[in-house]
Chains A and B, each alone.
Chain A
Amino acid sequence: MFKNNIKKIVPFLLAIWAIFVIVMYTKTFIIPRLLDAIKK
């Protein structure tokens, strides 16, 4: 039971972290540059 839960939780946590980083990266890197490009 515990092993099964771990099998589900680990990929979930990894995915959450990856999505969080991608969102933060989009916010700090992609969006400001896109806005700059649009302004130009």
Chain B
Amino acid sequence: MTSIFYFIIIILIAYGLGKLLFNLFIRKPNSLLEDFTFSVGLGLALLGYVVYIIGSLGFLYQKYILTALMLCVLVAIYPAYRFIYGFRHYNISKTIKSLNIFEKFLIGIIIFVPVVCLFGALAPEIGNDTLSYHLYHPKIFIENHKIGYIPFTRESLWPYLAEMLFTMGLILKSVTVAKLFHYFFGILSAMAVFSFTRKFFSQKVALLATALFLSAPGIFMQMVYSYIDLAQCFYSFLAFYVLMLWMESKHIRLLMLSAVFVGLTISVKLLGGITLLVLCLIMLLEFIRIKTNYKNMLKYFFIFGFITFLVCCVWYIRSYFVLGNPVYPFLHNIFGTGWETNINVDVGTKKDFLGFLMLPWDVVMQLDSFGGQQIGVIFLAFLPFLFFVSLKNYPQHYLFIFLICHALLWFVVDPQLRFTFANFAVAFILISIGFYGALRKYNLSFIKILLLICILFNMVLCVYYNIDAIKLSFGLTSKENYILHKERTYPIATFVNKNFPSNSVVIAICEPRGFYFDRKIIFYDIWENVTKGNIYPYIAKLKKDKVPVYLLFRDDGDLGQFKTTIAAKIPIYKIAREVDEGRFASYYLFEL
């Protein structure tokens, strides 16, 4: 509970800070929700950059982060107070009473998903990428009291805006606070979807779109891990949202705010670049529609590009200066450092026109081909409602353009479903518009029942995926049991932490998860790619410095240079763990 309390305080600070920034761009927001969503989005980013600056200077201590937060409180307290005070005039029960049964049901879903996912968010972390770097690297930053390059890693100089928030959560309190950030990005995304749809369409369409978005299994499954995809989805969608507001008023400040959000998207993940390209295309189409002259067009594009660059450049410039490659380890042919990374080899279907046309079917029916996440059956079953979307106004046109262009680029670059969450939002908004468009013309009672059944099925899935976390919250199982059952490296890490000297180094083969280890871990696969050399001189140097060296080997990996060394050794620890659904592997620990 204290974690939730800490988190609420941070969000209020973020709101207060963000509100001051937000006022620079928009004086009068369309609604309280829009004000909150935009301000918190800006405030969280600002807090992330504060942590980054403190960490880069080597002052990553709890006392400095707390001092910075206290200073932020001074600035944020008045806007935050005004926001809370503003709620006094808002009569939520009156709004709910005016809704029909179907809309009340949707409200129930919108409340139910975050409540169930909160149990998952409060449970110990078990996500793969999280334990490999999203939380593992912040843990190392805190140990080193500095944010920067971690030797023999692939990701430590990637754009880490969301990870800065995780770092703040870890340093202030616990893993739970860090996890709550990503959970909250899911809620913020839903708020943004609701606010956008209500602004441009209607409240009932907004309720349906938000309920469909939150009930997509990919969304509620991600909310319980400290991944970064919901942060990317949130900023990406906000960038589109503000661009639509700009089209209404053509006020340059709105274009600038949209550029800020694009910059933040790219500060969260490199693939945010897809949003930049799509929004540039939308801008271009709008300029052509309103017959803007070339000079003005260039001016707007320059402003947009410059602000985007300004917001996100710090991550890429530091990577360039430290490793000689702004997108390390990708594009190694151009920059000379890095290595061949076939990120999209195992994901997606055939990358041709037919493959793209079949995408809606494939993303639902071939789960494993798109990284294992799900968009859910509702998307495909109710996709024909897109034909009922009226194309009278510009938001619908641009929603369609965003949907198709974003999907196309994502499909070509790296079609893991979680990388396109912003498109989930757009797709569900369009389906909701189409649904109510069709409802005006036809009797769709049976379809409505089918929709309710599908949503309820997704709710069952939501509970099913969080059932162990719910049990944990109600004390039906212990935290130890929960992690032991859910996290494959936990018993090995416990053994290592208990038995190995504190200065020891563990070389891990075929196991990227290092979060639960309190000893220095070197991931052999990455080491090999980074150095392209012989590891034995490195081990000899460590031993010469009286550093004990161990080898952690998972038997579904390749021993590489250790083949002959290990053949004659007896493991000091051995355990079999489930590494994938139904697939087991044995782990061995050797002393080198």
Interfacial residues, chain A to chain B (CB-CB below 8 A): 7, 10-11, 13-15, 17-19, 21-22, 24-25, 28-29, 36
Nearest B residue to A20 via CB reads B381
**Does A36 contact B582, Cβ atoms closer than 8 Å?**
yes
Which A residues lie within 8 Å of B377 (CB)?
A: 21-22, 25, 29
Cα–Cα distance between A21 and B441 once the two chains are bound (Å): 23
Cα–Cα distance between A7 and B439 once the two chains are bound (Å): 11
Which B residues lie within 8 Å of A29 (CB)?
A: 365, 367, 377
Nearest B residue to A13 via CB reads B384
**Does B380 contact A21, Cβ atoms closer than 8 Å?**
yes
Query: Taking A15-B450, A36-B582 as contacts, is the C-beta distance between A25 and B364 under 8 angstroms?
Result: yes
Q: Within the complex, what minimum Cβ distance (angstroms) separates B148 from chain A?
A: 44
Which B residues lie within 8 Å of A28 (CB)?
A: 365
Q: Within the complex, what minimum Cβ distance (angstroms) separates B468 from chain A?
A: 14
Query: Taking A17-B384, A25-B377 as contacts, is the C-beta distance between A11 and B444 under 8 angstroms?
Result: yes
Closest 8 CB pairs between A and B? A21-B381, A18-B381, A25-B377, A11-B442, A21-B380, A18-B450, A28-B365, A15-B446
Which A residues lie within 8 Å of B382 (CB)?
A: 18
Which A residues lie within 8 Å of B450 (CB)?
A: 15, 18-19, 22
Cβ contact of A7, chosen from B364, B385, B441, cutoff 8 A: B441
Cα–Cα distance between A21 and B447 once the two chains are bound (Å): 13
Taking residues whose C-beta sits less than 8 angstroms from the other chain, chain B's interface range is 10 to 19
Q: Is B408 an interface residue (CB 8 A)?
A: no
Nearest B residue to A24 via CB reads B365
**Does A18 contact B447, Cβ atoms closer than 8 Å?**
yes
Cα–Cα distance between A13 and B442 once the two chains are bound (Å): 12
Q: Within the complex, what minimum Cβ distance (angstroms) separates A6 from chain B?
A: 9
Among residues 373 to 426 in chain B, which have CB atoms less than 8 Å away from a CB atom of chain A? 377, 380-382, 384-385
Among residues 432 to 478 in chain B, which have CB atoms less than 8 Å away from a CB atom of chain A? 438, 441-444, 446-447, 450, 454
Dominant SS among interface residues on chain B: helix
**Does A22 contact B381, Cβ atoms closer than 8 Å?**
yes
**Does B443 contact A11, Cβ atoms closer than 8 Å?**
yes
Cβ contact of B381, chosen from A7, A10, A13, A17, cutoff 8 A: A17
**Does A11 contact B364, Cβ atoms closer than 8 Å?**
no
Cα–Cα distance between A36 and B438 once the two chains are bound (Å): 39
Query: Taking A11-B446, A14-B444, A15-B446 as contacts, is the C-beta distance between A21 and B364 under 8 angstroms?
Result: yes
Nearest A residue to B374 via CB reads A29
Dominant SS among interface residues on chain A: helix
Q: Within the complex, what minimum Cβ distance (angstroms) separates A25 from chain B?
A: 4
Q: Within the complex, what minimum Cβ distance (angstroms) separates A35 from chain B?
A: 12
**Of B364, B381, B384, B454, which is in contact with the most chain A CB atoms at under 10 Å from its CB?**
B381
Query: Taking A21-B381, A25-B365 as contacts, is the C-beta distance between A15 and B447 under 8 angstroms?
Result: yes
Q: List 12 A-B contacts (CB under 8 A).
A: A7-B442, A10-B442, A14-B444, A14-B447, A15-B447, A15-B450, A17-B384, A25-B364, A25-B380, A29-B367, A29-B377, A36-B582
Which A residues lie within 8 Å of B365 (CB)?
A: 24-25, 28-29
Given contacts A10-B442, A14-B384, could you give 7 more A-B pairs where the C-beta distance is less than 8 Å? A11-B444, A17-B384, A18-B382, A18-B447, A21-B377, A22-B450, A25-B365
Cα–Cα distance between A11 and B447 once the two chains are bound (Å): 8
Which A residues lie within 8 Å of B446 (CB)?
A: 11, 15
Which A residues lie within 8 Å of B380 (CB)?
A: 21, 25
Nearest A residue to B380 via CB reads A21
Q: Within the complex, what minimum Cβ distance (angstroms) separates B576 from chain A?
A: 16
Nearest B residue to A10 via CB reads B442
Cα–Cα distance between A36 and B442 once the two chains are bound (Å): 41
Cα–Cα distance between A17 and B385 once the two chains are bound (Å): 11
Cβ contact of A14, chosen from B364, B438, B582, cutoff 8 A: B438
Cα–Cα distance between A11 and B367 once the two chains are bound (Å): 29
Cα–Cα distance between A25 and B443 once the two chains are bound (Å): 25
Which B residues lie within 8 Å of A10 (CB)?
A: 438, 441-442
Cα–Cα distance between A14 and B435 once the two chains are bound (Å): 11
**Does A22 contact B454, Cβ atoms closer than 8 Å?**
yes
Cα–Cα distance between A22 and B560 once the two chains are bound (Å): 47
Nearest B residue to A36 via CB reads B582
Q: Within the complex, what minimum Cβ distance (angstroms) separates B313 from chain A?
A: 43
Which A residues lie within 8 Å of B454 (CB)?
A: 22
Cα–Cα distance between A22 and B453 once the two chains are bound (Å): 10
Which A residues lie within 8 Å of B385 (CB)?
A: 14
Cα–Cα distance between A32 and B561 once the two chains are bound (Å): 40
Which A residues lie within 8 Å of B447 (CB)?
A: 11, 14-15, 18
Which A residues lie within 8 Å of B444 (CB)?
A: 11, 14
Cα–Cα distance between A13 and B183 once the two chains are bound (Å): 38
Which B residues lie within 8 Å of A25 (CB)?
A: 364-365, 377, 380-381
Cα–Cα distance between A24 and B450 once the two chains are bound (Å): 15
Q: Within the complex, what minimum Cβ distance (angstroms) separates B54 from chain A?
A: 46
Cα–Cα distance between A11 and B388 once the two chains are bound (Å): 12
